[in-house]
């Protein structure tokens, strides 16, 4: 299978996982577990899994002491900071608000790519992101989302999370050009676990894990294994092979996937409008990737 096909399949898988994550994670917080405590569990489990898998891979060494600082910065923005902001934000706002605000991430990636990676962004790529953003907002519901003073703190945290994750996607490209994706992610999650623990301590102490229903454990397992372990590894591998702009553009597919998951569950019905909105998003993503295909 050609490399670019594998990249798109990996990113599509990530989009499917993230499309489910909003509702699944929201069902755990804050009734059963505080957001910071939830973040710690997902990072800890993923860190263990990354290290177990690494035991069976060819070993690598850090090539330069200066790279340790890069690992710490990438862990701060890509693991600890963005997860704490997102889960705490999601706990104080709606799933719809959070998904709308996450649409800003590709725009921030575009900006960071220009200043950090010195990438030249073509006009049709910028237009493609705009088209995909419009289609995603319409897919989410157009006027169905509402920003208010009650959700303001949560909205701000989700927006900061989008900025943090965008910076991570661009910044980690440096490390991924020198090391394998698994080696990088393994180190980021070890550092991230240490960073998050002080923020999660109170949530972990106050949670009564013995009273968690089995479906809550299933939700925690999904977020830790699929949304964290699988999605982060696939994202890191994709950033190695493609532009961070392409990786970020797949965020626009999450509302499409979330909508069709809801249709399959019987919560929504399929309409021509949804099909058209989906095609608009796919068109925008194709435009973002068109320059890479020509190259």
pLDDT, residue 48, reads 96
∠ Cα 267 213 217 (to 5°): 80
- Hey, what are 44's tokens? 């800890």
Per-residue pLDDT of the chain (295 residues; tens, 9 = 90+): 566 888 889 998 998 898 787 778 878 887 889 999 999 999 999 999 999 999 998 889 998 888 999 999 999 999 999 999 988 988 887 766 677 677 777 778 878 888 887 777 778 777 877 887 777 667 655 555 555 566 678 878 888 898 898 899 899 988 988 999 899 999 999 999 999 999 999 999 998 998 999 999 999 999 999 999 999 899 889 888 887 878 887 877 776 776 666 666 665 555 677 677 767 777 776 776 665 444 3
- Tokens matching residue 197: 């623990």
Go through 137-163 and write b for each residue having 16 or more CB atoms within 10 A of its CB, e for each that does not. bbbbeeeebeeeeebeebbebbbbbbb
Three-state secondary structure of 178-232: CCCHHHHHHHHHHHHHHHHHHHHHHHHHHCCHHHCCHHHHHHHHHHHHHHHHHHH
pLDDT of residue 295: 39
- Name residues whose C-beta falls within 8 Å of residue 249's C-beta, 6 or more positions apart in sequence: 106, 128, 129, 132, 284, 285, 288, 289
What is the residue whose two structure tokens read 């591998």? 237
Task: Give the per-residue SS3 of 46-99.
Answer: HHHHHHHHHCCCCCCCCCCCHHHHHHHHHHHHHHHHHHHHHHHHHHCCCHHHHH
Q: Look at residues 181, 193, 158 and name the one whose alpha carbon lies nearest to residue 80.
A: 193
3-state secondary structure of 151: coil
109 burial level (CB within 10 Å; 0-12, 13-18, 19+): buried
Cβ atoms of 27 and 219 within 8 Å: the answer is yes
Looking at residue 205, its pLDDT comes to 92
- In the prediction, which pLDDT does 292 show? 47
Q: Which residue do the tokens 């003073």 mark?
A: 149
Residue with tokens 């599509």: 12
The secondary structure of the chain in percent helix, strand, coil, rounded to multiples of 5, reads 80, 0, 20
Torsion angle of the four alpha carbons 17, 170, 289, 131, in this order, in degrees rounded to the nearest 10:
80
* CB contact burial 120-129 (16+ within 10 A = b; e otherwise): ebeeebeebb
């Amino acid at each position: 299978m050609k490399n670019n096909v594998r990249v798109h399949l990996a990113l599509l898988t990530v989009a499917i996982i993230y499309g489910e994550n909003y509702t699944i994670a929201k069902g755990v917080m804050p009734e059963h577990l505080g957001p910071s405590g939830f973040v710690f569990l997902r990072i800890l489990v993923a860190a263990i899994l990354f290290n177990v898998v690494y035991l069976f891979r060819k070993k690598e060494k850090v090539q330069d002491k200066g790279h340790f600082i890069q690992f710490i910065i990438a862990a701060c923005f890509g693991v600890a900071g963005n997860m704490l902001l997102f889960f705490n934000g999601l706990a104080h706002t709606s799933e719809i608000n959070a998904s709308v605000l996450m649409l800003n991430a590709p725009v921030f990636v575009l900006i960071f790519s220009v200043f950090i990676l010195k990438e030249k962004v073509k006009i049709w790529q910028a237009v493609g992101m705009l088209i995909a953003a419009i289609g995603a907002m319409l897919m989410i519901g157009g006027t169905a989302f509402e920003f208010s003073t009650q959700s303001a703190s949560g909205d701000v945290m989700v927006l900061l999370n989008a900025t943090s994750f965008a910076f991570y996607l661009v910044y980690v490209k440096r490390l991924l050009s020198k090391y394998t994706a698994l080696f990088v992610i393994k180190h980021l999650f070890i550092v991230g676990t240490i960073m998050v623990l002080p923020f999660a301590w109170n949530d972990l102490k106050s949670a009564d894990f013995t009273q968690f229903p089995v479906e809550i454990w299933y939700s925690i397992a999904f977020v830790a294994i699929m949304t964290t372990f699988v999605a982060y590894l696939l994202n890191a591998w994709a950033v190695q092979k493609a532009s961070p702009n392409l990786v970020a553009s797949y965020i626009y597919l999450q509302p499409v996937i979330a909508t069709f998951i809801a249709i399959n569950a019987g919560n929504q019905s399929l309409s021509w409008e949804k099909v058209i909105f989906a095609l608009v998003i796919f068109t925008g993503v194709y435009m973002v990737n068109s320059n890479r295909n020509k190259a």
